[in-house]
Structure 1
Amino acid sequence: MTGVRWLVSLIGNLLALTAAFGLLARYVPPQVFWPPAIVALLLPGLLVLTALYALLALFWRRWLSALLPLAVILFAVPVLDQLFAWPGEEEAAPGGPTVTLVTGNQRLFRSYDAHDVDPDRVSRVFQDYGADVVLLQEVRPPKNRLSFIPSIQTAEQLRERHQKEGTLIATYGADLEPVTASFSEPNEYNGYIVTDVQTEIGTLRVINAHLESNQISGMADNMQEDGSYRNRLETFGRMLTGYGRTSRLRAQQAEQIRTAVETSPHPVVLGGDFNDVPSSYTYNQILSPRLRDAWVSRGRGLGATFTGPLPGLRIDYFMVDTSLRVEHIERLSPNWSDHRPLRMVIGKRAETTGE
C-alpha cells in the first residue's frame, strides 16, 4: 500500500507541475517562450486532476504532498472562471431594446463529406438565427462560383455585408459602415475587420476576428490515418513547432486588436475564432479592462466550441464592452462546420440608460 501511495503521489505532483507550467501561458509572451501555450490546451483537465489529487493527499493526511497541488490550485484561481464559467446571480434586466449577434467559423460551407452545403439549407439556418448582426469566418469570397452570400442575405436584416476583397471574413447586418481591415500576408486568410453597425441600442463598433490558424487539425487527421510510429512522431513534432509559430503571430494580432478596442469611440463587440484557449496569452491580451468575456458573464461550464480532431476547446468568443449588458449567450448546432456558433443578446447597462 505504501508503494501505491508513493506512485500516486509522484504522478499527482507531476500533474500539478505540468498544470503550473500551463498556467504560465497567460503571463509569458510566446515570442519569449512558447511551450506553455501547448500545455494550456490541456489545462482544464490538468487542474481537475490536480484538485482530485490534493483532496486524496489530504484524506491520506499526507500534508507535505498536498502542498504543491494546493499551491497550483491557488495560483489558478484568477483563470478558473474563464475555464469553468458559472455566473452568479443575474442583475435585474433593465428592459429596453436589445441586439442579437451570432459568430461562427463556417469552414467554407463544406460538409463533413467535403461537398458544398445546400444553399437552401444555409438560408434556413441564417433565418433561424434571428440575428441582427452576424460575424462569419472562413467564408468564400464574392467571386467564388458559390459564395453563399445570397443565401445568407435571404434574412432581410443581413442585407448589407462588410468583406474585404479576396478575404474570408465577413460581417452582415442592416446598416454597416466599414472602418478598417487587417490581414496576415500573403494569403489574407487570417486577420480581423472593424465595422460600425447602427443598432437599436446605438452605434456599435464590431470587430470580427479570425486569428492565425494552428493548422494542426489536418495533421491530427493524418496521424490517425497513417499508423506508422515514425510518421506520427514526425507529424507530432511539426504540430508542436507550428503551434509555437502561430501562437507568436496570434499574440501580435491580439496587441493590434487591443489597440483598436481601446481607441474606439463607440461601445465594442469583439467576436470570432481566436484559435486559442482562455488560458492563453492571446486571450488575456485581448481581454482589456474595457471588455468582458460574454461566456464568463452568462455561460455555464467549459463552453467548448471546437468539435474537430482536438475537441473540447473553447476557441470561439464574444467579448463585450463593459458599457453593455449580456442578456443571454448560447452555443448553437455546428451544422456543417467543426465549430459551434455562438448566439448572444446584448442591451445597454442600466447605468447607461438613465434608469
Structure 2
Amino acid sequence: MRKLFLLAGNLVALTAAFGLLARYVSPEVFWPPAIIALLLPGLLLLTLLFLCIQLARKRWASLIFPALVLLLSWPVVNRLLAWPTQRDPPPLDSPTVTVVTGNQRMFRHDDRTDATLEEVRNFFSGTNTDILLLQETWPRQRNKNYISAMQEGTGLEERHQRDKTLIATYADGIVGQTEYFQDSEYHGILLTDVQTELGTLRIINSHLQSNRISDMAEGISGENSLSNQLTTFGRMLAGYGRTTRQRAAQAQQIRRFVEESPYPVILGGDFNDVPSSYMYNEILSPRLQDAWVQAGTGLGTTFTGPLPGLRIDYFMVDTSLSVVSMERLSSPWSDHRPLRLVVTQ
C-alpha cells in the first residue's frame, strides 16, 4: 500500500506539472495540457496534501518532486486564488465607473422556462451599473428580446449590438463602435468607446469560443450506455483541442486591440477558459490587470454548470485605472455568475 500511495501521489504531481505547461505552450503546437489546466486547482491541492503526508512521515526523498511542482506553480496559484487584501476606498469626491458583465444563456432557467420581463427588469435594476456587457443575449430581431426590460432596469438607453448577433454592450455616451465576428453569431468581440466621468474608455466585450461543456457532460452521464459515453468523451477531447486553438487566435486578436487602443481599456466577458490557460496568458499583456486578482477573494468561480469551480468570466482593467471593487453576482437564470466591477483613476 505504501508503494501504491507513493506512485499515486507522484502521478498526481506529474499530471499537475503537465497542466502547468498550458500557459506556455500554444495549442497550435500541443493542446492536451489545456485540458489538464481545467483541473489544476484540485491537482495542486492533492499534490500539497501528498507532500504534507510525506513530510509527516519524514519521507524526505519523496518530497523533492511534489515540492518542485508546487514551487513552479506559484505564479499560477496567484492567478487561480485571489488573496484578501486591505484596499483603501477612493475619496468620496472621486469619480467612479461601474461595469457589469454576464453570459445570459438566452435568459433561460434551468427548467428551460424563459425569464419574464419583470424578472429581467428587476435583476438589472439592482446592478446599479454604468456600462453593461452581455453575452448570449437576444437581438432586436427576436420577439422576446428583453431589450426594453434591460434598458428600463439599468436606465441605459444606448446599445451596441450588431443585427442577428448575441453580444451587446449598453452604455450612455457611446462615441465609437466596432465589432468582430467569425462564423458565429454567438462568439465575437465588440469594441465600444464610451464617454464616462473618467474620460473616454474603450470597452471590449468578448465571448470567446465555447467548449460546449454542458452538452458534453449530458452525453457522458450515467443515463447513456458505456459505448456512447466513450464516443462522446472522444468527441469532447477532439473538440476541446479545436476550440482551444480558436481561443488562442482570438486572444491574440484581443491583445492587438488592447495594445492599439488610444484610450484606457476595460476588457470583460465570457472567455471560456481558466486562468492557467494559454489564452489567459496571451491576453494579460503588461497593460492589463486581472480585476479579480486585484480585488477578489478565493477562486472566483463563475461557471456553475457540470464542471464546477471554473473561473471563465473576467474583467481585465487598464493599469492606468484603479480597481475599487470586484464582486460576483447571482444570476436567476444563467449557468454563469455575472461580475460587477468598480474602477476609478
Same fold per superposition (TM over 0.5): yes
User: 8 Å contact 1:211–1:275 — kept in the other structure?
Assistant: yes
Find out whether 1:288 has 2:294 as its counterpart.
no
Measured after TM superposition, the shift of residue 226 of structure 1 is 3.0
Q: Residue in 1 aligned with 2:168?
A: 170
Q: Residue in 1 aligned with 2:48?
A: 51
- In the aligned structure 2, how far is the partner of 1:225 from the partner of 1:119? 36
Measured after TM superposition, the shift of residue 225 of structure 1 is 5.7
- Give secondary structure in 1 for the equivalent of 2:335: coil
Which amino acid is 2:198 matched to? I
Q: Residue in 2 aligned with 1:70?
A: 67
- In the aligned structure 2, how far is the partner of 1:225 from the partner of 1:118? 33
Measured after TM superposition, the shift of residue 94 of structure 1 is 4.6
- In the aligned structure 1, how far is the partner of 2:322 from the partner of 2:91? 9
- Give secondary structure in 1 for the equivalent of 2:234: helix
- For normalisation by structure 2, the TM-score amounts to 0.97
- In the aligned structure 2, how far is the partner of 1:105 from the partner of 1:23? 28
Moved over 6 A (4+): none
Find out whether 1:205 has 2:202 as its counterpart.
yes
Measured after TM superposition, the shift of residue 93 of structure 1 is 3.0
Measured after TM superposition, the shift of residue 92 of structure 1 is 5.8
**Over aligned residues, Cα RMSD in angstroms?**
1.2
User: Aligned runs of 1:20-31 on 2, under 5 Å?
Assistant: 20-31=17-28
Cα distance per residue 1:219-273 (max 9 Å; x no partner): 2113226331111111111111101000000000000000000110000000000
Measured after TM superposition, the shift of residue 157 of structure 1 is 3.4
- Give secondary structure in 2 for the equivalent of 1:319: strand
Measured after TM superposition, the shift of residue 58 of structure 1 is 1.7
- Give secondary structure in 1 for the equivalent of 2:54: helix
- In the aligned structure 2, how far is the partner of 1:229 from the partner of 1:252? 35
Q: Of the candidates 142, 145, 148, which is equivalent to residue 143 of structure 2?
A: 145
- Which deviates more, 118-127 or 226-235? 226-235
- In the aligned structure 2, how far is the partner of 1:326 from the partner of 1:87? 14
Find out whether 1:112 has 2:110 as its counterpart.
yes
Which amino acid is 1:179 matched to? Q
- Which deviates more, 86-95 or 192-201? 86-95
Q: Residue in 2 aligned with 1:344?
A: 341
Q: Residue in 2 aligned with 1:15?
A: 12
In the alignment, structure 1 segments of 5+ residues that lack a partner are: 349-355
- Give secondary structure in 1 for the equivalent of 2:323: strand
User: 8 Å contact 1:87–1:296 — kept in the other structure?
Assistant: no
Find out whether 1:86 has 2:83 as its counterpart.
yes
Find out whether 1:314 has 2:311 as its counterpart.
yes
User: 8 Å contact 1:162–1:178 — kept in the other structure?
Assistant: no
Cα distance per residue 1:316-348 (max 9 Å; x no partner): 000100011111111101210000000111101
Measured after TM superposition, the shift of residue 183 of structure 1 is 1.2
- For normalisation by structure 1, the TM-score amounts to 0.94
- Give secondary structure in 1 for the equivalent of 2:326: strand
- In the aligned structure 2, how far is the partner of 1:168 from the partner of 1:313? 23
Q: Residue in 2 aligned with 1:229?
A: 226
- In the aligned structure 2, how far is the partner of 1:300 from the partner of 1:8? 33
- Give secondary structure in 1 for the equivalent of 2:3: helix
Which amino acid is 1:175 matched to? G
User: 8 Å contact 1:269–1:319 — kept in the other structure?
Assistant: yes
User: Aligned runs of 1:31-50 on 2, under 5 Å?
Assistant: 31-50=28-47
- In the aligned structure 2, how far is the partner of 1:130 from the partner of 1:290? 27
User: 8 Å contact 1:100–1:345 — kept in the other structure?
Assistant: yes
In the alignment, structure 2 segments of 5+ residues that lack a partner are: none
Count of matched residue positions in the alignment of Structure 1 and Structure 2: 344
Find out whether 1:218 has 2:185 as its counterpart.
no
Q: Of the candidates 283, 294, 301, which is equivalent to residue 297 of structure 1?
A: 294
Measured after TM superposition, the shift of residue 63 of structure 1 is 1.5
Q: Residue in 2 aligned with 1:183?
A: 181
Measured after TM superposition, the shift of residue 181 of structure 1 is 1.0
Q: Residue in 2 aligned with 1:127?
A: 125
Which amino acid is 1:324 matched to? L
Which amino acid is 2:148 matched to? P
- In the aligned structure 2, how far is the partner of 1:265 from the partner of 1:70? 44
- Give secondary structure in 2 for the equivalent of 1:194: strand
Q: Residue in 2 aligned with 1:252?
A: 249
- Give secondary structure in 2 for the equivalent of 1:153: helix
Q: Residue in 1 aligned with 2:268?
A: 271
- In the aligned structure 2, how far is the partner of 1:94 from the partner of 1:20? 45
User: Residues 148, 225 of structure 1: CA spacing in aligned structure 2 closer, same or farther, 3 A cutoff?
Assistant: farther
- In the aligned structure 2, how far is the partner of 1:202 from the partner of 1:225? 54
- In the aligned structure 2, how far is the partner of 1:83 from the partner of 1:33? 22
